[in-house]
């Protein structure tokens, strides 16, 4: 059964409580002592109880939302990333970012972590600043460096893949010319790549192993 979608504060409160218990703080008083140790004495046991419960009204609506200051202090006290408290453990669990936008945990986490959002149903910005590069330009410098490193690594893998493909094609053509493989090997045989070789399988089940050239990387 699918769990109902949560508000951001309900999600964070639930994650705080579960993480508190996981860390061995069996009561809010114990966590309050830890908060005082890290310089957040305002997070007393009653305050933490209200954060976790939400001080709900008679209709069950949360009256006590969680501030950014509290989120960061509790992340420090619980020794977790704020991302861990802001996103559900289940990637498919949903969070109501606004009354008209509900995101699954994975999409929410990627957005918070500085990935470009893809929100279905959200009107796009009709400005020159709405493209991918402007989105990245507004990120902190350390995240922009990470994105650049990720792209360089991805490009290197693509180039390596092309080199491997070229090496395979050259070796196949050499074996066809030498009569070691039939001319229809490109279309009729199945190909499978492994770490050290390519495996070519004929329609009749015959297998041919072609080692990867040592110089291909």
Q: Residue 63 sits in a domain of what CATH number? A: 1.10.260.40
93 and 41 share a domain? yes
Q: Does a structural domain hold residue 63?
A: yes
What tokens appear for 138 in the block? 């507004």
17 and 114 share a domain? yes
Q: Which of 125, 151, 186 is the last residue of a domain?
A: 125
Show contacts of 56-64: CB within 8 Å, 24+ apart: 62/7, 62/9, 62/10, 64/9
Domain extent at residue 191: 141-211
Neighbours of 40 (CB within 10 A): 19
What pLDDT score does 68 carry? 96
Lowest mean pLDDT among 39-48, 102-111, 151-160, 171-180: 151-160
172 and 115 share a domain? no
Q: How confident is the model at residue 158 (pLDDT cuts 50, 70, 90)?
A: confident
Residues in the chain: 217
Rounded CA separation 104/18 (Å): 20
82 and 21 share a domain? yes
68 and 27 share a domain? yes
Q: Over 80: is that where the pLDDT of 101 sits?
A: yes
What pLDDT score does 126 carry? 55
Q: Does a structural domain hold residue 3?
A: no
Domain count, the chain: 2
Phi, psi of 115 (to 5 degrees): -90, 155
Specify whether the CB–CB gap between 171 and 213 falls below 8 A: yes
Q: Over 90: is that where the pLDDT of 182 sits?
A: no
Q: Does a structural domain hold residue 117?
A: yes
Distance of CA 192 to the CA centre of its chain: 29
19 and 71 share a domain? yes
pLDDT tens column, 115-125: 866 666 566 55
Q: Does a structural domain hold residue 204?
A: yes
| % of the chain surpassing 90 pLDDT | 40
Question: Bigger pLDDT: 12 or 194?
Answer: 12
Q: Does a structural domain hold residue 134?
A: no
112 and 15 share a domain? yes
Q: Give the Cα-Cα-Cα angle 70, 62, 97 (nearest 5 degrees).
A: 70
């Amino acid at each position: 059964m699918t769990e109902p979608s949560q508000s951001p504060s309900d999600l964070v409160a639930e994650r705080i409580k579960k993480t508190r218990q996981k860390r061995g703080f069996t009561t809010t008083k114990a966590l309050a002592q830890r908060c005082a140790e890290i310089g957040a004495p305002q997070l007393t046991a009653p305050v933490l109880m209200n954060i976790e419960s939400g001080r709900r009204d008679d209709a069950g609506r949360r009256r006590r939302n969680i501030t950014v200051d509290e989120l960061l202090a509790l992340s420090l006290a619980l020794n977790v990333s704020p991302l861990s408290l802001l996103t559900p453990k289940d990637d498919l669990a949903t969070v109501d970012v606004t009354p008209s936008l509900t995101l699954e945990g994975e999409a929410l986490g990627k957005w918070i972590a500085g990935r470009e959002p893809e929100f279905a149903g959200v009107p796009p910005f009709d400005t020159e600043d709405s493209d991918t590069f402007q989105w990245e330009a507004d990120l902190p410098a350390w995240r922009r460096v990470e994105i650049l490193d990720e792209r360089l690594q991805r490009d290197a893998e693509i180039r390596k893949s092309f080199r491997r493909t070229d090496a395979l094609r050259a070796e196949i053509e050499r074996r066809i010319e030498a009569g070691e493989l039939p001319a229809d090997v490109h279309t009729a045989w199945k190909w499978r790549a492994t770490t050290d070789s390519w495996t070519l399988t004929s329609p009749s089940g015959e297998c041919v192993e072609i080692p990867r050239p040592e110089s291909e990387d």
